[in-house]
Every structure is written in structure tokens, then in C-alpha cells.
Structure 1
Amino acid sequence: MGAPAKAMPYGKLVDDSLTSGGIYMSGSSDALATVTLRVNRFTPRPERDRPARSGSPFAKKSSPFGGASASARRRPRGKQWVQEYTLPVRREDTVLDCLLKIKRTVDPTLAFRYSCGHGMCGSDAVAINGTPTLLCTATVGDWAKPATPIPLADDEGFRHTGDAGDKRSADTTAPEGNSCEDNADAQSHELGIIELAPLPGFPVQRDLIADIDPMLDQIRKLKPYLQADGVLATTSEGKVDVFEYLQRPEQLAKYELLSNCIACGVCEGACPVYAGGDAFIGPAALISTSRFVNDSRDTATDERLDAIDTADGVAACQSVRACSRHCPRGIDVGEEMWQIVARVRER
């Protein structure tokens, strides 16, 4: 076994096992490679107490859903920079594994959120290579992309994407901190770059941690719980009917998949309307409403449809269906959005 990893400051990690010859073998399933994580970092400024100002009577009114307004989701002020971390990994390692390794051995100031680590809680949603997804389900082998060199400009100021770019790629050497024996071997085991950024559409608290409270507030306002008529069912003998809410399999199937939503915010980060800052209740809240609208035991269907039949509700959905692309629970969010929009319009 190789010696333990040595931590170097500011994003460089060297593993002695890369040169030991015992673990770093071509074709081995557990062979180590290197990957570079390019992390968008953010440190907020300390808040200052400022006197409250009266708003202009001509200002745009806030959204009835509160946190969905663009002003409520404005990025806070602070220091922003991009930091790279190069470390040895295996292709099956998750991006969360990489961040934990950086946090524990390289840079303890790096901030990110996670809980279960198995794709069940949804707390570690970020943008990987610009795509909202979960850290714990994204593997290095699937998300690492080759480093694209910047094409050189000619005398007339135009950048060539052919010969010049290819020449630059060929001249690229191994990154600093790589312990491989020669550059050719280093290039063959360099997986590439993974770019990490906080979840789009939400205020950033620190580094990769986004404030998803606006989304949760919207879900709460739509009463995400079963609302029955309150009448206690009884049997012919006057006893309480324990099968009051018994359902048939086809009734359960209408909302069973929707109940798997973990409110991770991936669909909202992928939605160009919500992440773009427009007033929109968002797909997560509409999925929550659809779950109870399709529940045969719920008696508040009309009230729920009235609550989303607004300019900031279903009317703001542009049917792009980008919300369906990376749902970690396998929900076709775009199709469910279309179904609830059609039901509102058919009333």
C-alpha cells in the first residue's frame, strides 16, 4: 500500500501511491487517476445594520409567493473567486467523496452541504458543469470533462479552433502536483475538470451552499398535507371504520411517484423561468400540489387549484420541460407540470 496522502495548501493534493507502482496500474479497476475540481467560491460580507427605507409607490409589487420574487433571490454581496483542487480519485468515486477529501485533508474552509450521502435527502444539490444535480449521485467518471484549451488568436484577432487549438492541446503538460513518472503517462490518467457552482436560482450563503428557504416557503404556502372532510367514518354497527382511507391500487398509482419528491431544488435550478429570476412559484411547489390533487382522499382539490391559478402560478410555466432532465427520484416533472396546468385550464 502507498503512503498516506500529503496535503498541500490551496488546492493541491499529492498521493505517494501514484508513484509506488503497486496501485497505479493501467487497466486495474481500482487504479487511481487525477481530476481537477474547479469550485466557484463565495464568502459573504458581514451584514451591517441599515435604517429601513420606505418603498416607492411606483415600485413593482412583490410576488404573492414571497420568496419567489427576484429581489428576494438576489445574490448577496461578498468575495467571489474560482479555486481549483487537483486530487487522485477513482472513476467510481462521487463528487461528494472528492469534496469530503478536500475538506478533510486540503482545505477545511470549503463549504458545502450534505446529509445522507445516498440521494435520499436532496440536501447536496449543486450545479455540476452547469447542470443541477446531486453531489452524492454524480460520479467522477461520468462528469469529468477534458480540459478545453483557449484557442490562440492570430494577427487579425480571430481565434482558430483547428490547428492552433490542437497544437496547444498537444503541448499541454501535466498539472503541477501530479506525481506520475512522465507527462505521457500523466495525460493518460488525467480524467479532466469538473466545474462546481451553487444551485442556480437561489441566494448563495457560502461557496456551494444555496439558501433553499424560498422554495420551502412556497411549498408550505400551498398546504402540503392531506386535507380530509373531517367526518369520522363508522361501520353499520356504529364503530369507527379503520378502513376509512382505504384506496385501490389504481388510486394509489396516481400520486405514488409524486410522493417521492425530496424537495432538493434540482428542478427549480434547471427551470429557466425560476432560475432566471422571474416571479414563479416553481416546479417543486406545483409537484407538491399535484401530489394531493391526485390523491383520492383529499377533499381540497378546488382550493388547491385556485391557489396555483395565478400569474405567478401555472400561468408562468413556459413548458420548457428542463425540470425533467435530472430529477434524482425519477419524476417526469415536465409531464406532471403539463398535467396540472391542463387540469387548471379545463375547469
Structure 2
Amino acid sequence: MTTSTNVTTVTLKVNRFAPRPERERDRTRSGSPFARRSSPFGGSAGSAAASRRRPHGKQWVQEYTIPARPEDTVLDCLMTIKRTVDPTLAFRYSCGHGMCGSDAVSINGTPNLLCTATLRDWAKRPSSPAAGMTDDEGFRHTGEPACEPDDADDADDACAGDGSLGVIELGPLPGFPVQRDLIADIDPMLDQIRRLRPYLEASGTLATTEDGKVDVFEYLQRPDQLARYEQLSNCIACGVCEGSCPVFAGGDAFIGPAALIWASRFINDSRDTQSMARMDAIDTADGVAACQSVRACTRQCPRGIDVGEEMWQIVAKVRER
């Protein structure tokens, strides 16, 4: 293995947004009384939509070219930019290890987590001058493929011809109002989850043993009972599935796959006593009836949940009950 002295770089194209300061009359002005309608998930849909009104402001695309390695994550690059290039760049993160889900954004048009997306997987080589053009046989050129070293020993020499790993385009998570730069307002999703009571509701009756003592194994489950919901309990409410769903748009027309995953988690829990009530709550026009079974929600789930399959299962269970 030879050590390369070439410095590789990556270019991030960030869709930025700076909200316009809200005027006093905008804060106090109410919507039309003729536009109000009740929501099956509680509250007024008209007022909820008004509270989530997309803010106005300045939008632009800003490019940053920084030194980077193929194994770096997109979050690593944004942190470098924030610390050394542009402190005004706004993005959200917490654990940095794919456990909290707070850093979900659009990467090259696909919802994903900043902390798990590596440059090796997501950097795209700039298109050639002929990109978008058609040849004599009618085939359209789409540019060069992303930089992919042949083996691990060549990782440091990736794209050594021009020293660039490629380009990555970043934007806020689709389907949600943008607050600033890469920060989206995911409160609509969290509100939908809360309204479906995402917590165990057991009978509350303490089981006792023959000698009158509390039975500490009251909620003991068999492995097959645990398997029905164990994977679903890994959901971190990152919003990646909702950003991928073509039906979900901020929670107005569809409750969303994240809320249905949380509902399914407790519907499938043998200890919960509210399964029928939970299915009634999602058996609405904005609930399971709105799911079109596109299964786009399955792509890129950071916790490995087959969201599309779970959507099919919960829809079938609601309809067959």
C-alpha cells in the first residue's frame, strides 16, 4: 500500500433559507372562518394548517468546497463548514450516531440521516459537458458515475485526477415546512404520533400469586409475542419515511407512516388492552384509507424497519377486524 499525498475535496450544494421577520399583524391575523373544518385527530384543521404556514424568506443555493475523505459523513463536512467556513449555516443534529433521528435531511433528493451518509456512498461526480445531450442514436448522456475506488487501498487515491470526491446536494426534509436552511419543522409528525397515544395501556390490575403477593411476572411475554412489535419499537421518529411518502404533506391529508408505525407497535403488543380503540382511531379517511401502498416509505429507514410492509400489515388488520 502506498501513501498518497493528494488532498481530496468534496463540494456541498446546500439549499439555504432565511425566514423573513414575522410582522405583528401576521401573528395576530386569523384565517377565514369559512376555511375551518374539524380534524379527526383533534383540534381544528384550519387552525393547525395556519400554525404550520410555510414562512416566507430568502432562498438560495450555496456551494462549499472543503477537504474531505471518502469515509467522512455528510455531518462531518457540515460541522467543518460550521466551525471554519460559515458559522451562519443552520442544521440540526444530536447524537451523531444514527440513534436520535434529529438530523434527517434530503441528500441528493433522498431523505436520509446526515450522520450515517458517507461521502463514498453519496458524492456524485460532476456531469460531463455532454450531460443531458443526446447522441445520434437517441441515447441521453447522464454524466460520469460517482467516485468508487476499486478497493480499500485505493480509498485515499479516489478521484485523484482532480482531487474531488464529487458533489452532494442538500436540502431540508421534504414534506415539512422549512424553518432555516436544513432545519425542517417536524412538529406535525410528532403531533400526529402523540394523538394516537404512543404508550402502553394495560389493564392496570395487579396479578397476585397464590399466597397473595404481587406477581412480578405479570407482563411476561413469549418470544413470538415480543417478535410482533420488537422491530417497530426501534422507530426513532426521524421523519425519513414521511419525507419519502408522496401522500404525506405535513399531516394535512394523511396521518403519515411514522404515526401508523407507532400505532402498530402497540396494536401488536399483547399487553395492551386498547387495540380495537387504536384501530378505530386510524380507520379514517386521513388514516389507513389514505395510504396508497406506494412503499416509498421503506427506502432508507435508518433503523431497518420495512415500513412499506408494516403499512400493508396494519391496513389489512384494520380492514379485517
1:303 correspondence with 2:277: yes
CA distance in 1, matches of 2:199, 2:183: 28
| Residue aligned with 1:274, SS | coil
Q: Does 1:33 align with 2:8?
A: yes
Residues 92-119 of structure 1: per-residue CA shift (max 9 Å, x gap): 0000000000000000000000000000
Question: Shift of the alpha carbon at 1:64?
Answer: 3.2
CA distance in 2 between partners of 1:198 and 1:112 (Å) = 9
The answer as to whether partners of 2:189 and 2:250 remain within 8 angstroms in 1 is: no
Could you tell me how far 1:307 is from its partner in structure 2?
A: 0.4
Which residue does the alignment assign to 1:53? 30
CA deviation vs aligned residue, 1:183-224 (integer Å, no higher than 9, x gap): xx8644312110000000111111001111111111010000
Please, which of 154, 157, 160 is the counterpart of residue 133 of structure 2? 160
Aligned to 2:151: none
- Gaps of at least 5 residues in structure 1 are 1-21, 26-30, 153-158, 171-184
Q: Is the 8 A contact 2:36 2:44 kept in 1?
A: no
Which moves more between the two structures, 222-231 or 44-53? 44-53
For 1:292 and 1:318, the matched residues in 2 are separated by 23
With over 3 angstroms needed to count, the CA separation of the structure-2 counterparts of 1:235 and 1:291, relative to structure 1, is same
Give distance in 1, aligned partners of 2:308 and 2:107: 21
What count of residue pairs does the alignment treat as equivalent? 298
| Residues 268-307 of structure 1 mapped to structure 2, 5 A cutoff | 268-275=242-249, 279-307=253-281
Q: Is the 8 A contact 1:324 1:331 kept in 2?
A: yes
Normalised by the size of structure 1, how large is the TM-score? 0.80
Q: Is the 8 A contact 2:68 2:77 kept in 1?
A: yes
Quickly say closer, same or farther: Cα 1:324–1:289, change in 2 above 3 A.
same
Q: 1:233 aligns with which of 189, 203, 207?
A: 207
Aligned residue number for residue 155 of structure 1: none
Alignment-derived partner of residue 54 in structure 2:
75
- 1:293-342, CA deviations, whole angstroms, 9 ceiling, x for partnerless residues? 00000000011001000000000000000000100000000000110000
Q: Which of 2, 26, 40 pairs up with 1:64?
A: 40
The one-letter code sitting in structure 2 at the alignment partner of 1:263 is A
Gapped regions of structure 2 (runs ≥ 5): 145-158
Provide the identity percentage.
Answer: 74
What residue identity is the alignment partner of 2:291? C
In the TM superposition, what is the alpha-carbon distance from 1:237 to its structure 2 partner? Answer: 1.0
Q: Contact 1:42/1:78 (CA < 8 Å) preserved in 2?
A: yes
Is contact 1:258–1:291 with CA below 8 Å preserved after alignment? yes
1:137-148 to 2 correspondence within 5 Å?
A: 137-148=116-127
Distance (Å, rounded) in 2 between the aligned partners of 1:67 and 1:262: 27
Q: Distance in 2 between matches of 1:73 and 1:345?
A: 32
Amino acid at match of 2:30: R
Q: How far did residue 160 of structure 1 move?
A: 3.1
Q: 1:64, 1:150 → 2: CA distance?
A: 53
Task: Indicate whether 1:86 and 2:65 are aligned.
Answer: yes
Distance in 2 (alpha carbons) for counterparts of 1:315 and 1:119: 31
Query: How much does 1:266 deviate?
Result: 0.3
Q: In the alignment, what sits opposite 2:80?
A: 101
8 A Cα contact 2:106 2:170, kept in partner: yes
Q: 1:290 to 1:141 in 2, by over 3 A?
A: same
1-structure distance, mates of 2:16, 2:247: 25
Q: Give 2:153's aligned residue.
A: none
**In the aligned structure 2, how far is the partner of 1:209 from the partner of 1:122?**
13
Letter in 2 for 1:141: R
Amino acid paired to 1:33:
T
> Which residue type is aligned with residue 125 of structure 1?
A
Q: CA RMSD in A?
A: 2.6
In structure 1, what is the Cα distance between the partners aligned to 2:221 and 2:294?
A: 34
